[in-house]
Structure 1
Amino acid sequence: MRPACRGVDLRPVRTRRDWLRFHALPERLYAADPNWIPPLKLQQRQLWAPRNPFFEHASGCAWIALRDGRTVGRISAQVDRLNESEGRADLGWFGQLEAEDDLDVFAALTGAAADWLGRAGRRRMQGPFDLSINQQCGLLVDGFDSPPMMLMGHAPPYYRSRLAELGFETAATLLAYQGSPAFDDPRGMRRVLARLGDRVRLRSIDRGELDRHAETMRGLFNDAWSDNWGFVPMTENEFRHAIHDMKLLIRPGYVQLALLDDRPAAFMVALPDLNELTRDLGGRLFPVGAIKLLWRVWRKSNRRVRVPLMGVAAQHHRSVTGAALSYAMMAATRDHLLADGVAWAEQSWILEQNRGMRSLIESLGMRVAKRYEIVEREIASPTSDLPGNSPNDPLGDPAPDRSGR
């Protein structure tokens, strides 16, 4: 551990105690924030487990910042080799950022991440990503007055200010739309679907069918998002890992597959808001949290849902047919949500420049409730005196226990 910025010491996360400090910091920082919801500790540990399929094509390192022996900040840095196949070989990511309101702490943390990425040959850093753009990402910049839905971030306003002082600029803006699922059918969409007639068929995918249709949905996702800003394809193992994590929450009618002329053309996944179901568990599933969660899922206790996955085949983008496919899936899901007593739904995240999807969502009465930003800055030549691990180490961390169990 070496001195960094005016009394801030940085430590690469290696030991079980380091990981415990890394995961425990947000609980202290957000203790007075009524809108912060503790993430499940098990999920946080599994994020950094070597079996996470993200690390089949990526490397990462994590740090904690200490002052007088007290943890005051944390950050991670990631290099995803799939960015190279998308023409972004100069790009590295940072994430997991949490810190006290102290510019020196932010400077030390982002400096360590930049140095590690620079030694990996990257010249730009973007974030926050936990750990990938296909997972939780974005820094909350508007909408601090309500709790986030599952897999969406929360942060105090000063985070964006401190990063701006350190030269970070906005690279992309992500929107979270919210509203009642009891929307009226836009007349234009009804007419389009009537013209398409039997060419469009919807298939509801139940929990037991997810594995069988996973590869079809992954193909649609990668095709649908291929032209989006920052796109990185999901591998087969990553998509199946994500589907596995969702299975507990899947309900009848919440996963829709749209067929056009009997060919898969779009899909949509809606999930009960896990944050709503676990808010009072303090992030702990054991000894009784898991029982409470299972009971609430079985009782359909939630009143909020989020749509985290949705995609329309690229050939139907910017077309009336593509909009009609999206609308048809939303309308089919709506009926099931209302039957389950759901009162509030979120579509997220949506790129700010995606005018077509935004127009469709707004036509259903949904409005922007939260804004997130991906920020970036150039990376100067790396210095060798900052603490960290070799970017060539698959996890940037030689210790056998990375989870903090």
Structure 2
Amino acid sequence: MDVVPVVSPNDLTRFIRLQHQIYRDDPNWVAPLPSDEKTRLAPGKNPYFEHAEAAYFLAREDGRDVGRIAASVDRNYDSIHGERQLAFGFLEAESAKAVEALVRAAERWGRERGAKVMRGPMNFTTNDDCGLLIRGFEEPPTILMPYNPPSYAAWLESAGMKKAKDLFAFRVPIPASPEQEIPQVTRIARKCSERHRIHVRPLDMKHFEEELQKVKVIYNSAWEKNWGFVPMTEHEIDHMAGQLKPAIVPQLALFAEIDGETVGFALAIPDVNVVLKPIRGRLFPFGIVRLLWSLPRIRTLRLMALGVKAGFRRRGIDAALVHRAAVVSHARGYTWCEVGWTLEDNDLINGLIEAVNGDRYKTYRIYERSL
């Protein structure tokens, strides 16, 4: 088996298309749009590369591509966390042998750049889709969440990887009556909203750029102490917002304010994967028609973000945001919402999700290995 670097546009196309070979018989896989994949893998288009570099590798056997991996180093991560990390991601393989060869190739590339620890999968950071699915293979992934065959965990462990951190995803039913179905959260939301003068409002799409500035402040403040977190740059947040904007329902992009100051933010978006799954990554000739026709008919959500600004926690702001999201979601006809991912040891947020009848139905794992 040989492992070769991706060096040409044709190589990159093979790198992207390999997924279709791996998952051709998997009913739960959701094919990403090739244009989206090319954008995030391209240094000239993904702002991640303003502070990072990456290399892509293909495993080949008997003249066939049988695996792939990306290796990257992020100067921002290293400066914030005080260590030299090699992140691996975009992992796909047909065998344990291919995984072993790909991991060794990524390690060599990382060592050449001074990396001391290898972690992943991350595509490319914890701000992106990350983690290896180890529990919950029965259902397709929701938007921007990873998916992989059950065999990958054992193959990575055989290659010397150990658990670093587990991530949870919860399935939460949308309550028809918050007062009766999530009474604790409803009570806290109302009591704290009155005591602390919390005002929850929807995103104003007419002033999208101004609203985005508030999101930037909340996002980097709310997540700064989380394991593995790297603050997103201005360009990265702008880039992500541009990608998500077509799917945003303003009434489900919520700001919490106290005396005019924005102190919290929550974002739930329709699970576009419900529409993307049947078109298998092909927008043309008929995929785009199905996509446009189906978007208003999606009945599931993913809560992608729920954060409270440092200095304003434990005032019921998160409960106020969750309560409003529940009321709006039911009114708009949504039936359930995936909440995640969350860190396994984030007891505060995991407890809040369980208080709204959340069922932990998927677990993802970040692996690590010293170099």
Deviations 1:321-365 (A, max 9, x none): 1xx211211221222222222111011110000000011110000
Which one of the candidate residues 24, 44, 51 is aligned to 1:31? Answer: 24
Matched, 1:375 2:367: yes
What is the aligned partner in structure 2 of residue 333 from structure 1?
325
Matched, 1:187 2:184: yes
CA–CA distance in structure 1, aligned partners of residues 35 and 370 of structure 2: 34
Q: 1:195 to 1:267 in 2, by over 3 A?
A: closer
Query: SS where residue 233 of structure 1 aligns?
Result: coil
Contact 1:93 1:129 in 2 (8 A): yes
Matched, 1:144 2:142: no
What is the aligned partner in structure 1 of residue 304 from structure 2?
308
CA–CA distance in structure 2, aligned partners of residues 97 and 372 of structure 1: 14
CA–CA distance in structure 1, aligned partners of residues 319 and 356 of structure 2: 9
Displacement after TM superposition at 1:179 (Å): 1.8
Which sections of structure 1, spanning at least 5 residues, go unmatched? 1-7, 380-405
CA–CA distance in structure 1, aligned partners of residues 367 and 311 of structure 2: 30
The sequence identity of aligned pairs, in percent, is 35
Q: 1:107 to 1:266 in 2, by over 3 A?
A: same
Q: Which has the higher contact order (CA 8 A, sep 6+)?
A: 1
Deviations 1:74-130 (A, max 9, x none): 0000111111221233211000000012x2211110011111111111010000111
CA–CA distance in structure 1, aligned partners of residues 82 and 284 of structure 2: 42
Which one of the candidate residues 217, 222, 225 is aligned to 2:220? Answer: 222
What is the aligned partner in structure 2 of residue 51 from structure 1?
45
What is the aligned partner in structure 2 of residue 67 from structure 1?
61
Displacement after TM superposition at 1:287 (Å): 3.0
Query: SS where residue 16 of structure 2 aligns?
Result: helix
> What letter is aligned with 1:308?
M
Matched, 1:83 2:81: no
Contact 1:210 1:243 in 2 (8 A): no
Contact 1:142 1:371 in 2 (8 A): yes
TM-score, normalising length: structure 1: 0.87
Matched, 1:40 2:41: no
Deviations 1:360-396 (A, max 9, x none): 11000011010000000011xxxxxxxxxxxxxxxxx
Which one of the candidate residues 95, 106, 115 is aligned to 2:108? Answer: 115
Once the two structures are superposed, the pairs formed by residues 244-323 of structure 1 within 5 Å of their partners are 244-297=242-295, 300-317=296-313, 319=314, 321=315
CA–CA distance in structure 2, aligned partners of residues 10 and 260 of structure 1: 55
Displacement after TM superposition at 1:222 (Å): 0.6
Aligned residues: 365
Displacement after TM superposition at 1:195 (Å): 4.7
Displacement after TM superposition at 1:189 (Å): 4.8
- Give runs of ≥4 in structure 1 deviating > 6 Å: none
CA–CA distance in structure 1, aligned partners of residues 189 and 284 of structure 2: 50
Q: 1:87 to 1:201 in 2, by over 3 A?
A: same
CA–CA distance in structure 2, aligned partners of residues 96 and 31 of structure 1: 17
CA–CA distance in structure 2, aligned partners of residues 162 and 123 of structure 1: 22
Contact 1:204 1:257 in 2 (8 A): yes
CA–CA distance in structure 2, aligned partners of residues 209 and 63 of structure 1: 42
> What letter is aligned with 1:354?
N
What is the aligned partner in structure 2 of residue 396 from structure 1?
none
Contact 1:206 1:250 in 2 (8 A): no
CA–CA distance in structure 2, aligned partners of residues 58 and 361 of structure 1: 34
Q: Which moved more, 1:10-19 or 1:353-362?
A: 10-19
Deviations 1:123-148 (A, max 9, x none): 10000111221011000000011111
Q: Which moved more, 1:177-186 or 1:324-333?
A: 177-186
Once the two structures are superposed, the pairs formed by residues 6-21 of structure 1 within 5 Å of their partners are 8-21=1-14
CA–CA distance in structure 1, aligned partners of residues 325 and 204 of structure 2: 13
Q: 1:188 to 1:237 in 2, by over 3 A?
A: closer
RMSD: 1.5
Matched, 1:134 2:134: no
Displacement after TM superposition at 1:295 (Å): 2.5
> What letter is aligned with 1:72?
V
> What letter is aligned with 1:301?
R
Which one of the candidate residues 73, 92, 96 is aligned to 1:98? Answer: 92
Displacement after TM superposition at 1:314 (Å): 2.0
CA–CA distance in structure 1, aligned partners of residues 303 and 207 of structure 2: 19
